[in-house]
Structure 1
Amino acid sequence: MKQFTVITLLILCFISETTHAKAYTVENTYKKLIKQYPNITIPVQDNAADVSIKKGLIYKTINQQALTLTLFSPKQQQASLPLVVLVHGGGWRTGTPALFNALAIRLAQNGFVVATPSYRLSGVAPFPAAIYDVNDALIWLRAHHQDFAIDLNHIALGGGSAGGQIAALLAYNNGQLKQQAEQATSANVQALINIDGLSDFASDEALPFENDPSKKVTSASAWLGGRYEQVPERWHSASPINYITDESPATLFINSSVPRFRAGRDTAIMALKKHQVVNQIYQFADAPHSFWLFDPWLNDTVKIMTEFLTAQLKLQN
Structure 2
Amino acid sequence: MKIFLIFTAILFILGCSTLAFNKAADVQKIENVVYKKIDGQSLGGDMYIPNLAGNKPAVVVVHGGGWTNRSGKMEGLSTKLARAGFVVYNITYRLAPESRHPAQMNDVSDALAWLYQHADKYEIDSSNISGWGYSAGAHLILMAGLDRQDAPQLRSIVAGGTPADLTRWPNSPLVLKLIGEPMAKAKTEWQDASPVNHVTKNSPPVFLYHGQWDTLVEPEQMALMADALKQKDIPVETYTVNFLGHILTYAMAGSAERRGIEFVRAHKASK
2:161 is the counterpart of 1:196: yes
Residue 187 of structure 1 and its aligned partner are, at CA, apart by 5.4
2:20 is the counterpart of 1:60: no
Q: 1:251–1:279: 8 Å Cα contact kept in structure 2?
A: yes
**Within 1, Cα distance between the matches of 2:249 and 2:62?**
13
Letter in 2 for 1:108: A
After superposition, the Cα gap between the structure-2 partners of 1:288 and 1:265, relative to the gap in structure 1 and judged at 3 Å, is: closer
2:40 is the counterpart of 1:80: no
Q: For 2:94, which of 88, 101, 120 is the aligned residue?
A: 120
Residue 79 of structure 1 and its aligned partner are, at CA, apart by 1.1
1:251-299, Cα deviation, whole Å (9 max, x unpaired): 100111215344443233223223221110001111121335434x3x3
Which residue does 2:210 correspond to in 1? 255
Deviates more, 1:127-136 or 1:266-275: 266-275
**Within 2, Cα distance between the matches of 1:291 and 1:87?**
18
Q: 2:55–2:124: 8 Å Cα contact kept in structure 1?
A: yes
After superposition, the Cα gap between the structure-2 partners of 1:95 and 1:56, relative to the gap in structure 1 and judged at 3 Å, is: same
Alignment of 1:1-317 (within 5 A): 50-75=26-51, 77-95=52-70, 99-175=73-149, 186=151, 188-202=153-167, 206-207=168-169, 211-212=171-172, 218-257=173-212, 258=214, 260-295=217-252, 297=253, 299-313=254-268, 316=270
Structure 2: where are the runs of 5+ without partners?
1-22
**Within 1, Cα distance between the matches of 2:25 and 2:54?**
19
**Within 2, Cα distance between the matches of 1:114 and 1:261?**
29
**Within 1, Cα distance between the matches of 2:176 and 2:88?**
31
RMSD across aligned positions (CA): 2.2
**Within 2, Cα distance between the matches of 1:66 and 1:94?**
16
Calculate percent identity across the aligned residue pairs.
26
**Within 2, Cα distance between the matches of 1:72 and 1:194?**
20
Letter in 2 for 1:304: R
1:89-111, Cα deviation, whole Å (9 max, x unpaired): 00000116x71111110111011
Q: Work out the number of aligned pairs and report it.
A: 248
Q: 1:171–1:187: 8 Å Cα contact kept in structure 2?
A: no
**Within 1, Cα distance between the matches of 2:251 and 2:66?**
19
Residue 230 of structure 1 and its aligned partner are, at CA, apart by 1.5
**Within 2, Cα distance between the matches of 1:131 and 1:284?**
27
1:235-257, Cα deviation, whole Å (9 max, x unpaired): 00001111212111101001112
Question: Matched residue of 2:69: which SS?
Answer: coil
Which residue does 1:5 correspond to in 2? none
Question: Matched residue of 2:162: which SS?
Answer: coil
Question: Matched residue of 2:267: which SS?
Answer: helix
After superposition, the Cα gap between the structure-2 partners of 1:292 and 1:268, relative to the gap in structure 1 and judged at 3 Å, is: closer
Q: Please, what TM-score do these two structures have when normalized by structure 2? A: 0.85
Residue 64 of structure 1 and its aligned partner are, at CA, apart by 1.8
Letter in 2 for 1:89: G
**Within 2, Cα distance between the matches of 1:82 and 1:261?**
32
Q: Please, what TM-score do these two structures have when normalized by structure 1? A: 0.73
**Within 1, Cα distance between the matches of 2:47 and 2:224?**
34
**Within 2, Cα distance between the matches of 1:191 and 1:253?**
11
Letter in 2 for 1:249: P
Structure 1: where are the runs of 5+ without partners?
1-46, 176-183, 213-217
Residue 164 of structure 1 and its aligned partner are, at CA, apart by 0.5
